[in-house]
Amino acid sequence: RRVSDNALVCCFRMMPLSGAEISRSYSAQYYALEALAAYDGKMVERGRFCVDPVARDPDILRVAWGAMTAYVDAHGVELLFGCSSFAGTETADYLDAVAMLKARHLGPKRWLPRVKAPKVFRFAARLRRKPDVKKAMLRMPPLLRTYLMMGGWVSDHAVVDEGMNTLHVFTGLEIRAIPPARKRLLRAVA
């Protein structure tokens, strides 16, 4: 909430899950998550992360991540996961961004979700392109950029979700992968 007028400017959902419960997650509608069912640590699906588009304060994301950090620390969460969305369904708009995901941020094979959705863009298998880093970062959604800066990883394909008018990639973040300096910054806000 914004202090000046108590307006809601950001919200997100957090759903604690065990490996056996992962099929109940929102992400499981679009991704085959059987591999993550074997993950033995505490997991939380982060979803519906929304920021008021009129609110331009960069501290909004920082404070939201601080709140998530407090929850992760208090509950011993070891893996955050969810879907990170690109606006629109035109894959051509995001070729540099997904080329960068392929080159630098694909998830570990042992946890990588398999294809489940009927319409996907298999960028890791089909894209043969060296990313233009500047263009890639300009097209990368802010939430996904934040995950990647903390050591996050993505699926090898993007779901084409025409109902939500998005392309989204499964996104995972093992808490132990977050660089110590980033953890200190997040905990300072928490």
Q: How far apart are CA 48 and CA 37, in angstroms?
A: 22
Residue numbers of the chain with a pLDDT score lower than 70: 1-4
Q: How far apart are CA 81 and CA 16, in angstroms?
A: 10
64-76: per-residue pLDDT in tens?
888 889 999 999 9
Q: What is the pTM of this model?
A: 0.89
Q: What is the predicted pLDDT for the residue at 176?
A: 94
First-to-final CA distance of the chain? 15
Q: What is the predicted pLDDT for the residue at 3?
A: 58
Q: What is the predicted pLDDT for the residue at 144?
A: 93
Q: What is the predicted pLDDT for the residue at 2?
A: 55
Q: What is the predicted pLDDT for the residue at 43?
A: 95
Q: What is the predicted pLDDT for the residue at 94?
A: 94
